[in-house]
């Protein structure tokens, strides 16, 4: 029996899914696989695990698992469910790649989809679980797709063994035919249950004109107008990245100052009392119509209900290059002459994946009385988290995505138009508790050119990591795997070729005919090196480095380098616009300091040849030596969160290495000495072995064809010139042969994470 507080009980009763509990549980009891569709906010994530718990799916010999594509959701939903059920975190727990609070007593476990995939490697039939929920399946994240493919086999096997497991696939949209109508996946079509959500109408207002790349300023002006002129109700703004979110928050706070001390104490008032009060208030307001004012150039169109399918926002990519920041900070939004409808303070909160959890939690709390809230979010607010009380949505229409060249792996971040489906999801956030409005900062003509849905992630990126994991599960013929949407053939071939080159797969027999060879390549079994590599939770190229570095006491260094390369973005970005001159000076000083530190960490002479990897070693080493404190990170331009993740990953990798070769007896040494000169040479060779296909050679003077190739490098895979990124310590050195971690395309193709290699090492 679950002992819920009366307030929680009351809030639950308002959720549409509660009325369907019996229907849902009957379907689950009678079918091995059930698909559950329900509009965002209908209560799927928070309630279905509780239904299963109360129906006995977490009894003595089994637990309930829920996967989420985003870390944010795994953490915050486990906390919410624990609170609703009045159970401690050791019973309702979460596990994400770097952390978790799972115990022996855990009964409900929220995790990222990647975590469950790793568990399948250790325990193919997932004996621990009596029920597995795949949440947010409409997002079509790579791991979710693979998990559904694997679970389609695991579920019947468990049934045959007399210990059945239930699979529930949950989606915020009705677009589930890739799961239900794919006979290779489920030979018996699973039942689809649809939960009707109480969705109020949302009036969509399109801009007459679409501002060219100037949506940040447009967003600001729109929020100001809504706040000044429209009746109470929360505002939710969709932007594309962390930098944009923070910049808009700063501008809005400046335009509508909110003094916390005046409201002291109110902020932490009982959640539910406040919420009820606000709910009642908004109910009363329901009949008031919007005043007829000219919100400048809008045309009014009815909201179009639609499905949505979008790319996962990759947690780690949040603060990467390419964000489009508005430098116009002087504008306080006042345009003079207009009578303000409301001069309430605006309670502005940011929301994005990398935000600290306690700050994320703030969006669920009622705003201080006498204020209007405005949440400025990335697309985490699209379906993963439902914010109560939103009446106005401002949608820039854009999304930041990582684009890959599927074969070369060259990636770039681009801000592009989102899909129609995802724009409609965003609009829907305004109609949860009463009719709302969505302001689209683009024209209806532009909207009709949006693609209908974003394609599933698995069809858009290189897949060597997945193929290695699958081979480790003895799935040799990857082409026959029941993918909900299979990756393109050239992507599968590229992945297998890379894995063969790394020695992770057994070489296919040399046959005469090219066609046979192609076929053989797509069904190579894993090698023993590959098995070792698959046990490391990092990309295959990095796993290869780990597998090679037993000798010369290089392991601790390789573990550190690989951790740093996996976590990425170690250094603070100082390229953002400053609010005032004082901040500008500060940013300048910090940037100078970071450049100085990078030089110091890079060392001199032959040490410097390890390039940016030496900088990573130096940065992690000195940070750990100083106790890895936020203070040290701040003073030296390091991202604290990245440093903490590197520390955790070093721990994990050290454990993984020790379990494979116990005589290594490694431990994470916070006082790790810098490598010797000989070790640095070995390290460069080890990195070359893992990144062998990431080799580049400088164009020599006599080869120079035209000015675009000045200081450029040539790579085997690309026709275009590539350059060493200006942030690299080898930017001025320009060694003849280099190996790079990745190529990122911004204004040019830039190599990041660069080191120098000797020509005689190149095979």
Contact residues toward ligand ADP (CB under 6 A) are 15, 38, 40-47, 76, 80, 364, 386, 388
Residue with tokens 């796993």: 543
Residue 440 CB-half CA count within 13 A:
33
> Least distance in Å: CB of 110 to Mg ion?
11
Q: Which is nearer to ligand ADP, 362 or 697 (CB)?
A: 362
Strand order from edge to edge, sheet including 108-112? 99-100, 92-96, 108-112, 63-68, 129-134, 166-171, 33-38, 192-195
> Least distance in Å: CB of 365 to ligand ADP?
8
User: Which among Mg ion, ligand ADP, none contacts residue 41 (Cβ within 5 to 8 A by kind)?
Assistant: ligand ADP
Q: Which is nearer to Mg ion, 95 or 246 (CB)?
A: 95
> Least distance in Å: CB of 718 to ligand ADP?
42
Q: Which is nearer to ligand ADP, 43 or 409 (CB)?
A: 43
> Least distance in Å: CB of 371 to ligand ADP?
18
Q: How far apart are CA 700 and CA 702, in angstroms?
A: 5
Nearest to 619 by CA among 653, 570, 677: 570
Residue with nearest beta carbon to Mg ion: 45
Q: Which is nearer to Mg ion, 45 or 418 (CB)?
A: 45
Give yes or no for a contact between 341 and 249, defined as CB atoms under 8 angstroms apart: no
- Strand-pair partners of 399: 416
> Least distance in Å: CB of 78 to ligand ADP?
10
Q: Candidates 36-44, 160-168, 615-623, 695-703: pick the segment binding Mg ion (CB under 5 A).
A: 36-44
Q: Which is nearer to ligand ADP, 358 or 760 (CB)?
A: 358
> Least distance in Å: CB of 6 to ligand ADP?
16
Residue with tokens 């009014």: 300
Q: Which is nearer to Mg ion, 93 or 383 (CB)?
A: 383
- Quote the Cα angle for 675-678-684, to 5°: 80
Nearest to 556 by CA among 415, 432, 409, 654: 654
Give yes or no for a contact between 531 and 472, defined as CB atoms under 8 angstroms apart: yes
Q: Which is nearer to ligand ADP, 359 or 477 (CB)?
A: 359
> Least distance in Å: CB of 139 to ligand ADP?
12
> Least distance in Å: CB of 586 to ligand ADP?
35
User: Which among ligand ADP, Mg ion, none contacts residue 107 (Cβ within 5 to 8 A by kind)?
Assistant: none
> Least distance in Å: CB of 568 to Mg ion?
28
Nearest to 594 by CA among 565, 561, 622, 566: 622
Q: Which is nearer to ligand ADP, 384 or 411 (CB)?
A: 384
Give yes or no for a contact between 340 and 365, defined as CB atoms under 8 angstroms apart: no
Return the HEC string of 407-438.
CCCCEEEEEEECCHHHHHHHHHHHHCCCCEEE
Q: What are phi and psi of 30, to 5 degrees?
A: -95, -15
Nearest to 426 by CA among 589, 314, 583, 304: 304
Q: How far apart are CA 534 and CA 540, in angstroms?
A: 7
> Least distance in Å: CB of 700 to ligand ADP?
58
Nearest to 382 by CA among 299, 479, 487, 311: 311
Judged by CB under 5 A, does residue 173 bind Mg ion?
Answer: no
Q: Which is nearer to Mg ion, 44 or 684 (CB)?
A: 44
Q: Which is nearer to ligand ADP, 279 or 453 (CB)?
A: 279
User: Which among ligand ADP, Mg ion, none contacts residue 388 (Cβ within 5 to 8 A by kind)?
Assistant: ligand ADP
Residue with tokens 């996996």: 566
Q: Which is nearer to ligand ADP, 21 or 693 (CB)?
A: 21
> Least distance in Å: CB of 378 to ligand ADP?
17
Give yes or no for a contact between 609 and 682, defined as CB atoms under 8 angstroms apart: no
Give yes or no for a contact between 166 and 130, defined as CB atoms under 8 angstroms apart: yes
Contact letters (x/-) for Mg ion, 319-358, by CB under 5 A?
----------------------------------------
Give yes or no for a contact between 48 and 57, defined as CB atoms under 8 angstroms apart: no
Q: What is the C-alpha end-to-end distance of the chain, expressed in Å? A: 66
Q: Which is nearer to Mg ion, 139 or 274 (CB)?
A: 139
User: Which among Mg ion, ligand ADP, none contacts residue 753 (Cβ within 5 to 8 A by kind)?
Assistant: none
Q: Which is nearer to Mg ion, 32 or 38 (CB)?
A: 38
User: Which among Mg ion, ligand ADP, none contacts residue 144 (Cβ within 5 to 8 A by kind)?
Assistant: none
> Least distance in Å: CB of 360 to ligand ADP?
9
Give yes or no for a contact between 235 and 387, defined as CB atoms under 8 angstroms apart: no
Q: Candidates 41-49, 147-155, 691-699, 702-710: pick the segment binding Mg ion (CB under 5 A).
A: 41-49
Q: Give the chain's length.
A: 763
- Strand-pair partners of 437: 203, 392
Q: Which is nearer to ligand ADP, 77 or 502 (CB)?
A: 77
Helices (H), 2-41: 6-13, 21-30
Element (H, E) at 113: helix 113-122
> Least distance in Å: CB of 135 to Mg ion?
6
Q: How far apart are CA 393 and CA 326, in angstroms?
A: 20
User: Which among Mg ion, ligand ADP, none contacts residue 386 (Cβ within 5 to 8 A by kind)?
Assistant: ligand ADP
Q: Which is nearer to ligand ADP, 74 or 255 (CB)?
A: 74
> Least distance in Å: CB of 167 to ligand ADP?
17
Residue 464's Cβ-count burial label (10 Å; 0-12, 13-18, 19+) is buried
- Select from 42, 45, 379, 636 the one that contacts Mg ion (CB under 5 A): 45
Q: How far apart are CA 299 and CA 360, in angstroms?
A: 34
DSSP 505: B
Q: Candidates 38-46, 101-109, 181-189, 719-727: pick the segment binding Mg ion (CB under 5 A).
A: 38-46
Q: What are phi and psi of 414, to 5 degrees?
A: -130, 140
Q: How far apart are CA 405 and CA 411, in angstroms?
A: 6
Residue with tokens 């380098």: 561
Q: How far apart are CA 235 and CA 346, in angstroms?
A: 10
Judged by CB under 5 A, does residue 425 bind Mg ion?
Answer: no
> Least distance in Å: CB of 39 to ligand ADP?
7
> Least distance in Å: CB of 29 to Mg ion?
22
Judged by CB under 5 A, does residue 371 bind Mg ion?
Answer: no
User: Which among ligand ADP, Mg ion, none contacts residue 364 (Cβ within 5 to 8 A by kind)?
Assistant: ligand ADP
Q: How far apart are CA 379 and CA 361, in angstroms?
A: 16
Q: Which is nearer to Mg ion, 44 or 401 (CB)?
A: 44
Size of the site for Mg ion (CB under 5 A): 2
Q: Candidates 40-48, 365-373, 407-415, 553-561: pick the segment binding Mg ion (CB under 5 A).
A: 40-48
User: Which among ligand ADP, Mg ion, none contacts residue 38 (Cβ within 5 to 8 A by kind)?
Assistant: ligand ADP
Q: What are phi and psi of 332, to 5 degrees?
A: -100, 10
Cα 268 to Cα 275, 280, 364, 761, distances in angstroms: 12, 20, 12, 63
Given the rule CB under 5 A, which residues bind Mg ion?
A: 44-45
């Amino acid at each position: 029996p679950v002992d819920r507080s009366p307030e929680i009980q009351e809030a639950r009763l308002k959720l549409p899914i509660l009325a369907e509990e019996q229907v849902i549980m009957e379907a689950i009891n009678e079918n091995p696989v059930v698909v559950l569709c329900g509009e965002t906010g209908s209560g799927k994530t928070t309630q279905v695990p509780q239904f299963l718990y109360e129906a006995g799916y977490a009894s003595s010999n089994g637990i309930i698992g829920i996967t989420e594509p985003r870390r944010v959701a795994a953490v915050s939903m486990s906390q919410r469910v624990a609170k609703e059920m009045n159970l401690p975190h050791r019973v309702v727990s979460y596990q994400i790649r770097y952390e978790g609070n799972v115990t022996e007593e855990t009964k409900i476990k929220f995790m990222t989809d990647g975590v469950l995939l790793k568990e399948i490697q250790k325990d193919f039939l997932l004996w621990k679980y009596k029920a597995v929920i795949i949440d947010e399946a409409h997002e079509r994240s790579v791991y979710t797709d693979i998990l559904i493919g694997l679970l389609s086999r695991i579920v019947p096997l468990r049934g045959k063994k007399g210990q059945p497991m239930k699979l529930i696939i949950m989606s915020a949209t009705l677009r589930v035919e890739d799961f239900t109508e794919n006979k290779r996946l489920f030979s018996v079509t699973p039942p689809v249950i649809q939960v009707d959500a109480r969705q109020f109408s949302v009036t969509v207002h399109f801009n007459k004109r679409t501002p060219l790349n100037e949506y940040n300023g447009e967003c600001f002006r729109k929020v100001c107008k809504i706040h000044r002129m429209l009746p109470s109700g929360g505002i939710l703004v969709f932007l594309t990245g962390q930098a944009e979110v923070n910049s808009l928050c700063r501008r809005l706070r400046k335009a509508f100052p909110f003094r916390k001390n005046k409201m002291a104490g109110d902020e932490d008032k009982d959640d539910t009392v406040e919420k009820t009060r606000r709910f009642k208030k908004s109910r009363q307001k329901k009949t008031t119509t919007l005043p007829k004012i000219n919100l400048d150039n809008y045309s009014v169109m009815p909201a179009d209900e639609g499905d949505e399918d979008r790319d996962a926002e990759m947690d780690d990519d949040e603060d990467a290059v390419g964000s489009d920041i508005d430098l116009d900070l002087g504008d306080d939004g006042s345009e003079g002459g207009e009578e303000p409808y409301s001069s309430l303070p605006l309670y502005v909160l940011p929301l994005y994946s990398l935000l600290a959890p306690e700050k994320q939690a703030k969006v669920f709390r009622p705003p201080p009385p006498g204020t209007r809230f405005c949440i400025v979010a990335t697309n985490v607010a699209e379906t993963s988290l439902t914010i109560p009380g939103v009446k106005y949505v401002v949608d820039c229409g854009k999304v930041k995505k990582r684009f890959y060249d599927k074969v070369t792996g060259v990636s770039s971040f681009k801000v592009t138009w989102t899909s129609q489906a995802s724009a409609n999801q965003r609009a829907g956030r305004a109609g949860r508790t009463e009719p709302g409005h969505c302001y689209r900062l683009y024209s209806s003509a532009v909207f009709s050119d949006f693609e209908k849905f974003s394609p599933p992630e698995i069809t858009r990126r290189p897949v060597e990591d997945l193929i290695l994991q699958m081979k480790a599960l003895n799935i040799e013929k990857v082409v026959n795997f029941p993918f909900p949407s299979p990756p393109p053939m050239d992507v599968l071939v590229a992945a297998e070729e890379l894995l063969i080159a790394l020695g992770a797969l057994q070489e296919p027999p040399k046959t005469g005919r090219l066609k046979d060879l192609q076929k053989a390549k797509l069904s190579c079994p894993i090698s023993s090196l590959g098995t070792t590599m698959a046990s490391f939770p990092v990309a295959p190229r990095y796993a290869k480095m780990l597998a090679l570095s037993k000798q010369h006491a290089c392991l601790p260094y390789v573990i550190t380098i690989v951790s740093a390369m996996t976590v990425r973005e170690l250094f603070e970005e100082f390229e953002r616009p400053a609010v005032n001159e004082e901040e500008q000076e500060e940013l300048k000083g910090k940037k100078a300091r970071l450049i100085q530190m990078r030089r110091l960490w890079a060392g001199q002479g032959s040490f410097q040849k390890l390039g940016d990897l030496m900088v990573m070693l130096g940065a992690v080493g000195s940070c750990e030596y100083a106790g890895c404190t936020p203070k040290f990170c701040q003073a030296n331009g390091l991202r604290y969160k990245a440093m903490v993740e590197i520390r955790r990953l070093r721990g994990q990798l050290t454990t993984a290495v020790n379990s494979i070769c116990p005589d290594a007896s490694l431990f994470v040494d916070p006082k790790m000495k810098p490598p010797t000169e000989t070790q640095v040479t070995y390290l460069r060779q080890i990195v070359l072995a893992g990144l062998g296909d990431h080799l580049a050679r400088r164009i020599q003077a006599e080869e120079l064809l035209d000015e675009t190739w000045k200081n450029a490098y040539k790579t085997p895979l690309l026709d275009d010139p590539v350059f060493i990124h200006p942030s690299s310590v080898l930017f001025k050195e320009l060694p003849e042969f280099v190996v790079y971690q990745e190529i990122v395309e911004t204004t040019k193709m830039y190599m990041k994470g660069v080191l120098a290699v000797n020509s005689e090492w190149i095979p």
